[in-house]
A and B are shown apart, each in its own frame.
Chain A
C-alpha cells in the first residue's frame, strides 16, 4: 500500500482528502502544518504528499523547499492543493519541486486525474 501524507490546517479538508485517497488505496497520515509534515517525513518518507500552501508555523512552499533538501527528500511525489490559483503561484511551486498542482475547490475526479498524471495510480 502506498503512503500519502495529507498536509492542511483545515481538519475538514484533511477528512475529505483522506476519504478520497483511502478509496484510491492509499494509507494516510496527516499533518496540520509544514513543520509537522517535515517531522513526519524525517521519520518515514511517504510516497505522496498532498500539500496546502497557506498554513501557520510553516507554509507549504517553505516545507517543500526544506523537504527537497533533506536526505531522501526527492522521493515523495508532491501535489500542491491550494486556493492559490494564479500562474505566479503555480510556477513558483513547480520551480520549488512540486510534481502536480490542484486548484481548490477540488473533487474526487480531480484528485484521481492528478494522481494518475504523476503515476501514483
Chain B
C-alpha cells in the first residue's frame, strides 16, 4: 500500500465512521482489510483502494468500515455504571417518571450486545421495583455484523465468563452445546437498530438514559464535541449520560457536567427540578421509539 493509498483510507474512514487512524496503524489496516479485499475478489489492498475511489460498491464500503471497528465488549463492563444504573438512576427515575411509568434507555454503540443485556439482567433482578413500568432498551451500532450477533444473544464460553457472575449465567442463559444463549425474555427487552453516530439520531426521540461507552475514544475532538452536543438534545434536563471508564466531557462540551462522586456519570448542566418538568411534552417524546 502506498502512502497516498493509506491517506485515502484514513480520510475515507474518518468521513464514514469518525475513526481516526494514526500513521503507525498501517499494519492494522492491512491485516483487517486484506480479508475484505479477498471477499470482494480483489488481490491487493491497492486494488481495494482503487475500487473505493471509483465508488458505487456500497456493500464493500460498509465491509471496509465495519472491519476497522473495534468491537470488544463484555458483560457488566467496569461494574460501576451498572451499580449507578441500579442505585442512582433507577431510584431517581422511578420517582420522577411516576406519572408516565415509562423509562427509555439507549445504548449507543452497543457492539455485540453485552451492555444492553447487562441492563436487562439488572431490570430482571429488580423486577419487583419496576413492576408495571414500561422500560425499553434500544441498542444501536454502526456495524451489521455485531448487531446480528447481539440479536441472536449467543455467546461463547469465553465471553460468558468475563464479567458475568455464575449465578446470573445459570439464571438467564441456556446452554446450547459449546455456546450460551440469553433467554428469550431478556432478548425481548431490547430493540436493535443500525445507527451511525455521525448521522442524525433525533428521530429516535428522547431518552432518560444514554450509555455511550468506549466509542468516542476513536474520534477526534471536534467529532466528540459534536456528538456529545447532539446527545444532550436527546436527553431531558434530568436525564443521564454514561461514558466509558477512560472518557469524560470535561474540555469537550459545556452541555454535560460530571455527577459528583459517580464516576462515568454525567447530567446536563442545568439540572431542573424534576417535579416541575412538563409531563405532556415527555409523553410525546417518549412515544417516538414505537413508530
Q: Which of B148-166 contact A (CB under 8 A)?
A: 157-158, 161-163, 165-166
Q: Which of A77-116 contact B (CB under 8 A)?
A: 85-87, 90-91, 94, 100-103, 106-107, 109-110, 113-114
Give the contacting residue for B161; candidates A86, A94, A114; CB below 8 A: A114
Beta-carbon nearest neighbor of A116 in chain B? B79
Complex interface: chain A residues within 8 A of B74 (CB) = 113
Q: Mark A15-52, 1 if CB is under 8 A from B, else 0.
A: 00000000000000000000000000000000000000
With A85-B157, A87-B175, A103-B157 known as contacts, the answer to whether A94 contacts B162 (CB < 8 A) is: no
With A103-B157, A110-B158 known as contacts, the answer to whether A87 contacts B170 (CB < 8 A) is: yes
* Complex contact A103–B161 (CB within 8 A): yes
* Complex contact A110–B167 (CB within 8 A): no
* Complex contact B170–A110 (CB within 8 A): no
Q: Roughly how many angstroms separate A100 CA and B167 CA in the complex, as a whole number?
A: 8
* Complex contact B170–A91 (CB within 8 A): yes
* Complex contact A101–B162 (CB within 8 A): no
With A86-B175, A90-B170, A94-B170 known as contacts, the answer to whether A100 contacts B165 (CB < 8 A) is: yes
Beta-carbon nearest neighbor of A111 in chain B? B161
Complex interface: chain B residues within 8 A of A103 (CB) = 157, 161
Beta-carbon nearest neighbor of A107 in chain B? B158
Q: Roughly how many angstroms separate A106 CA and B157 CA in the complex, as a whole number?
A: 10
A74 at the interface (CB under 8 A from B): no
* Complex contact B163–A113 (CB within 8 A): yes
Complex interface: chain B residues within 8 A of A86 (CB) = 175
Complex interface: chain B residues within 8 A of A101 (CB) = 166
B231 to chain A, nearest CB (A): 30
With A94-B167, A94-B170 known as contacts, the answer to whether A113 contacts B175 (CB < 8 A) is: no
Beta-carbon nearest neighbor of A100 in chain B? B166
Q: Roughly how many angstroms separate A80 CA and B201 CA in the complex, as a whole number?
A: 46
Complex interface: chain B residues within 8 A of A90 (CB) = 166, 169-170
Beta-carbon nearest neighbor of A112 in chain B? B162
* Complex contact A109–B162 (CB within 8 A): yes
Q: Which residues on A are within 8 Å of B, measured CB to CB?
A: 85-87, 90-91, 94, 100-103, 106-107, 109-110, 113-114, 117
Knowing that A90-B169, A94-B170, A103-B157 touch, tell me 7 more A-B residue pairs with CB under 8 angstroms. Answer: A87-B175, A94-B166, A100-B165, A100-B166, A102-B161, A106-B161, A117-B166
Q: Which 6 A-B pairs have the closest CB atoms?
A: A101-B166, A110-B161, A113-B162, A117-B165, A87-B175, A103-B157
26 contacts between A and B (CB under 8 A): A85-B157, A86-B175, A87-B170, A87-B175, A90-B166, A91-B170, A94-B166, A94-B167, A94-B170, A100-B166, A101-B166, A102-B161, A103-B157, A103-B161, A106-B161, A107-B158, A109-B162, A110-B158, A110-B161, A110-B162, A113-B161, A113-B162, A113-B163, A114-B161, A117-B165, A117-B166
